[in-house]
């Protein structure tokens, strides 16, 4: 069966510090991968999605970046965090072959920037 795991679950970072969130998927090949952010009481905002290794699409301009060094690994990074980067970050995957649109989410990473 397919599983998705992201880490760390919680982190508190000072403004201006770097960020790295990692996500891995097991049990499937060539998944579509996504990074979402959810601010408190708000909906899901798509940040990045990837349909293959090295292929990253950015949905919103920001100081974040994403990379996909391996088929089932997706990394969200920042060189210098802003206060506005605080939120709940969710990694997700969908079946790249069947392409039904259904998403399967990781556990989430709660980032607080102070």
Partner 1 sequence: GQNIDQPTEMTATEGAIVQINCTYQTSGFNGLFWYQQHAGEAPTFLSYNVLDGLEEKGRFSSFLSRSKGYSYLLLKELQMKDSASYLCAGIDSNYQLIWGAGTKLIIKP
- Site map for partner 1, 47-76, x if CB under 8 A? --x---------------------------
Which residue, 78 or 94, is less far from partner 1 as judged by CB?
A: 94
Cβ neighbours for 65, distance < 8 A, ≥ 6 positions apart: 76, 77, 78
Half-sphere exposure of 25 (CA within 13 A, CB side): 27
The CA distance from 90 to 93, in Å, is: 10
Q: Give the strand pairing for 73-78 and 19-26.
A: antiparallel
Cβ neighbours for 86, distance < 8 A, ≥ 6 positions apart: 39, 111, 112, 113
Please report whether residue 5 would count as binding partner 1 according to CB under 8 A. no
Which residues in 92-111 contact partner 1 (CB under 8 A)?
Answer: 99-108, 110
CB of 79 to partner 1, least distance (A): 27
Taking CB under 8 A as the criterion, the residue among 44, 53, 65, 77 binding partner 1 is: 44
Interacting residue ranges for partner 1, rule: CB under 8 A:
41-44, 46, 49, 88, 90, 99-108, 110
């Amino acid at each position: 069966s397919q599983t998705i795991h992201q880490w760390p679950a919680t982190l508190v970072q000072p403004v201006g510090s770097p960020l790295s969130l990692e996500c891995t998927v097991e049990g499937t090949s060539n998944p579509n991968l996504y990074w979402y952010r959810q601010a408190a009481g708000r909906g899901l905002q798509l940040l990045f999605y990837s349909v293959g290794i090295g292929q990253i699409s950015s949905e919103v301009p920001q100081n974040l970046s994403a990379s996909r060094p391996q088929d089932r690994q997706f990394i969200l990074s920042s060189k210098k965090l802003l206060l506005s980067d605080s939120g709940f970050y969710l990694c997700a995957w969908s079946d790249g072959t069947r392409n039904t649109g259904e998403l399967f989410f990781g556990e989430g990473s709660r980032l607080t920037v102070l």
